[in-house]
Amino acid sequence: MKIVVTVKQVPDPNSNFALESDNTISREKEAVLDPGDECGVEEGLQLKESLGGEVILVSMGPERAKDAIRKGLSMGADRGVLISDAALAGADALLTAKALAAAIKQEQPDLVICATESYDGSTGMVPPMLAELLGMPQLTFAKKVEVDGSSVKVHRQTADGYQVVEAATPALITVTAAIAEPRYASLKGIMAARSKEIKQVSLTDLGVEKSEPAETIEAVADAEVRKAGEVIEDDGTAVEKIVKVLAAAKVL
Amino acid sequence: MASILVYAELSEGKVVSTTLELMTKARELGDVYAVALGSGAKAAAATLGKHGAKVVHVNEDAAFDDYIAEPATDALAALHEQQKPDLILFGFTPDSREVAGRLAARLGTGLISNAGDVSASGGGFVAKVPYFGGAKIASMKANGKPAIILVRPKSFEASESGGAADVKQLDVKVAPESKRAHVTERVVEASEKVKLEDARVVISGGRGMGGPQNFPLLDDLASALGGAVGASRAVVDAGWVPYSMQVGQTGKSVRPGVYIAVGISGAMQHTVGMKTSKIIIAINKDAEAPIMKMADLGVVGDALKIVPALTAAVKAKKNG
């Protein structure tokens, strides 16, 4: 089974968010493989281990995004593809999906695995676009995946339980973090990853034309901030204070 | 007048509240019509009419219930071809965003997601979207024809405008090749006691709760207050609690009378789903946590001690 996992390099969610004085996101922050994608890589590796085949990581980003791909390779993925192009800076979801679709088509995978949403953007719009552009069905919010021959079955997380969703491959699935606990890369894995191939391609290589972005930013304003209220150290009277607030809000 | 198409999301045959919020906003923007697909669509049309839809296009083909996203995308693409709406509005919900994403890719228009407001401007539409981690709000002009905008739940209050919609059968045949991602079984694991979205008190836990074994402390407080328990994405991802409890950008949006954030630092991902709560109380070890800067009352201390004491105090006050 040929499996493509999409991966993204994101600012480390465990470090504190910082803005530069011009309101751009601080680039000082360490960049990591998106934790959601780590779960996708893990699921891809587990499927490969039981079914055989190949796991290919496809990413889009600047040159340094190779570090995120390398992380997945050190976990055990076979090779990587990085789409890198200055024209992609600030790409919207559709252009991102177009670039990824073009690179993934060349691989002709049986299964494409994406995280449900990225850690930085958190909008989850790329996977359904990608499924459409690849002409694949989408099996989403998977907390469990089973592959049997040419069919794939997932447990799709819902508000009060789950749905069983089935489709024939090739198919795109999006996985939640509940799917699999990502493995730590072994020293052997880290050494092996150094010699694994990461192919770098541009939009021209992929034959993708830059499309008009879905939006134009007209203005940027400060978000409305709630005024900070009172902050108290709990010296034993905090509970009493909270009860007063609850009573004043008429919920008690 | 601009023509606005609202994608009505149905859950167990009923229109979800986010759709009614969108309808209410859409009335300000132009002529509103809606599309409702799957079982219950015809009955839903009455509700949509009361909220301002002039026309509701319906189709009750079971394929819309049984197959993910693709049949609905086909229907919307067909309706777009016939009607050429200026704007298509979706809720920024797990089910709607899957359809919106496919549609935007098929029409080649792109979309704007995570909008907190939409307005008409210069013959087009402008969406307000959190930017730079939520510190800023960007006004984004939609370039797509049609413009496709996904609006976060609870961005507007739903209200009825009276009236009845003209119900039209949407003539679309779901192609066999769109019947692919097949829902073969629905399993209910847990029934929520008080719905998170409707609760007047929400108590949410984050990493500061220390582990899933401590969440029953929040359940106890919630039942004492008649509220519901939510969670941050961090603990949902860690597998402590199910996704259905996640409050935030891609979880649930809540607007209760009182929101108690316990051991939650207050990342934008979370706060975007709760910052319109009337009163916010934060309990956190870290006085510098961002949540403290938006709370009406911030308590710096040990949540595992404060929460049980609070539960006891609430019970005592109720009984006294």
Residues A142, A245 contacting (CB under 8 angstroms): no
Q: Does residue B98 or residue B318 have the better pLDDT?
A: B98
pLDDT band at B1 (very low <50, low <70, confident <90, very high): confident
Are B38 and B163 within one domain? yes
- Looking up residue B109, the CATH number of its domain turns out to be 3.40.50.620
Q: Note the ipTM here.
A: 0.91
| CA dist., res. B311 & res. B304, Å (int) | 11
Mean pLDDT of B44-48: 97
Q: Are B258 and A241 an interchain contact pair (Cβ–Cβ within 8 Å)?
A: no
Residues B238, B213 contacting (CB under 8 angstroms): no
Are B87 and B236 within one domain? no
Q: Which of residues 218-237 of A touch B (CB under 8 A)?
A: 218-226, 228-234
Partner residue facing B181 (CB), from A97, A137, A226: A137
Mean pLDDT of B134-159: 92
The per-residue DSSP string of chain A comes to -EEEEEE-EEE-TTSPP-B-TTSPBPTTSPEEE-HHHHHHHHHHHHHHHHH--EEEEEEESSGGGHHHHHHHHHHT--EEEEE--GGGTT--HHHHHHHHHHHHHHH--SEEEEESS-SSS----HHHHHHHHHT--EEEEEEEEEEETTEEEEEEEETTEEEEEEEESSEEEEE-TTS-PPPPPPHHHHHHHHTS-EEEE-HHHHTPPPPPPSEEEEEEEEPP-PPP-EEEE-SS-HHHHHHHHHHHTT--
Domain that holds residue B36: 3-178
In order of A80, A96, B156, B250, the CA distances from B153 in angstroms are 38, 25, 8, 10
Q: Which of residues 32-71 of A touch B (CB under 8 A)?
A: 35-36
**Which residues neighbour B196 within 8 Å (Cβ) at sequence distance 6 or greater?**
B202, B228, B229, B230, B244, B245, B247, B252, B254
Q: State what percent of residues in chain A have pLDDT above 70.
A: 94
User: A171: which chain B residues are within 8 Å (Cβ-Cβ)?
Assistant: 180-181
Checking DSSP bridges between strand A171-175 and strand A111-115, what pairing results, if any?
parallel
**CATH classification for the domain delimited by A2-206, as one of 3.30.870.10, 3.10.620.30, 3.40.50.150, 3.40.50.620:** 3.40.50.620
Mean pLDDT of B217-224: 95
User: B294: which chain A residues are within 8 Å (Cβ-Cβ)?
Assistant: 225-226, 228
**Predicted pLDDT at A65:** 95
**Which residues neighbour A215 within 8 Å (Cβ) at sequence distance 6 or greater?**
A92, B110, B112, B127, B140, B141, B142, B143
Q: Tell me the range of B98-112, B180-194, B233-247 where mean pLDDT is highest.
A: B98-112
Partner residue facing B141 (CB), from A163, A215, A225: A215
Angle between helices A66-75 and A187-194 (to 10 degrees): 130
In a domain, B184, yes or no: no
- Give the start-to-end residue ranges of the domains of chain A: 2-206
Are B10 and B70 within one domain? yes
Does position B186 have pLDDT exceeding 80, yes or no? yes
Residues B233, B209 contacting (CB under 8 angstroms): no
Among the ranges given (A13-17, A34-38, B295-299), the one the predictor scored with the smallest mean pLDDT? A13-17
**Predicted pLDDT at B172:** 92
Q: Please count the other Cβ atoms lying within 10 Å of the Cβ belonging to residue B104.
A: 30
A21 touches chain B (CB under 8 A): no
Q: Are B136 and A220 an interchain contact pair (Cβ–Cβ within 8 Å)?
A: yes
pTM for this prediction: 0.89
**Predicted pLDDT at B108:** 95
- SS3 state at B245: helix
| Residue from B250, B184, B228 nearest A139 by CA | B184
In a domain, B292, yes or no: yes
pLDDT band at A234 (very low <50, low <70, confident <90, very high): very high
Chain A: closest CA distance from residue B74 (Å): 11
Are B128 and B229 within one domain? no
The per-residue DSSP string of B81-113 comes to HHH--SEEEEESSHHHHHHHHHHHHHHT---EE
Q: Does residue B105 or residue A222 have the better pLDDT?
A: B105
Element (H, E) at B44: helix B41-50
pLDDT digits (tens, 9 = 90+) for A42-90: 999 999 999 999 999 999 999 999 999 999 999 999 999 999 999 998 8
- Domain-terminating residue out of B178, B211, B238: B178
Does position B102 have pLDDT exceeding 60, yes or no? yes
Partner residue facing B132 (CB), from A23, A123, A163: A23
Q: Does residue A174 or residue A29 have the better pLDDT?
A: A174
Are B28 and B149 within one domain? yes
In order of A3, A239, B99, B125, B214, the CA distances from B4 in angstroms are 40, 50, 17, 11, 47
| CA dist., res. A206 & res. A59, Å (int) | 13
Chain B: closest CA distance from residue A227 (Å): 6
**Predicted pLDDT at A16:** 56
Q: Are A214 and B106 an interchain contact pair (Cβ–Cβ within 8 Å)?
A: no
Are B174 and B29 within one domain? yes
Partner residue facing B296 (CB), from A124, A164, A245: A245
pLDDT digits (tens, 9 = 90+) for B234-286: 898 888 988 889 998 878 889 999 999 999 999 888 998 899 899 999 999 99
Are B47 and B157 within one domain? yes
Amino acid identity for residue A183 in this structure:
R
In a domain, B35, yes or no: yes
Average pLDDT of chain B?
93
Are B131 and B209 within one domain? no
In order of A55, A167, A249, the CA distances from B175 in angstroms are 32, 15, 54
Does position A136 have pLDDT exceeding 70, yes or no? yes
User: A25: which chain B residues are within 8 Å (Cβ-Cβ)?
Assistant: 132-133
pLDDT band at B7 (very low <50, low <70, confident <90, very high): very high
Partner residue facing A133 (CB), from B97, B105, B114: B105
In a domain, B186, yes or no: no
| Residue from A43, A55, A41, A54 nearest A154 by CA | A43
Q: In the numeric block, which tokens belong to residue B230?
A: 């939510």
How many beta-carbon pairs under 8 angstroms link A with B? 286
Peptide bond into A109 cis (omega under 30): no
**Predicted pLDDT at A18:** 55
Are B165 and B236 within one domain? no
Are B88 and B225 within one domain? no
Are B170 and B207 within one domain? no
Chain B: closest CA distance from residue A65 (Å): 20
User: B258: which chain A residues are within 8 Å (Cβ-Cβ)?
Assistant: 245-246, 249, 251
The total domain count for chain B is: 2
Give bridge partners of residue B129 from the DSSP assignment.
Answer: B138
Residue found under tokens 């609850």 = A246
- Domain-terminating residue out of B178, B209, B230: B178
pLDDT band at A101 (very low <50, low <70, confident <90, very high): very high
Q: Are A129 and B105 an interchain contact pair (Cβ–Cβ within 8 Å)?
A: yes
Q: Are B184 and A165 an interchain contact pair (Cβ–Cβ within 8 Å)?
A: yes
Mean pLDDT of A230-251: 94
| Residue from B116, B263, B166, B31 nearest A223 by CA | B116
**Which residues neighbour B130 within 8 Å (Cβ) at sequence distance 6 or greater?**
A223, B114, B116, B136, B137, B138, B268, B272
**Predicted pLDDT at B296:** 96
A182 class by beta-carbon count within 10 Å (0-12 exposed, 13-18 middle, 19+ buried)? buried
- Looking up residue B253, the CATH number of its domain turns out to be 3.40.50.1220
User: A19: which chain B residues are within 8 Å (Cβ-Cβ)?
Assistant: 132-133, 135
Q: Are A229 and B296 an interchain contact pair (Cβ–Cβ within 8 Å)?
A: yes
Q: A98, A242, A243: best mutation site toward chain B, by most B Cβ within 10 Å?
A: A242
Q: B65, B177, B314: best mutation site toward chain A, by most A Cβ within 10 Å?
A: B314
For B236, phi then psi, to 5°, come to -65, -45
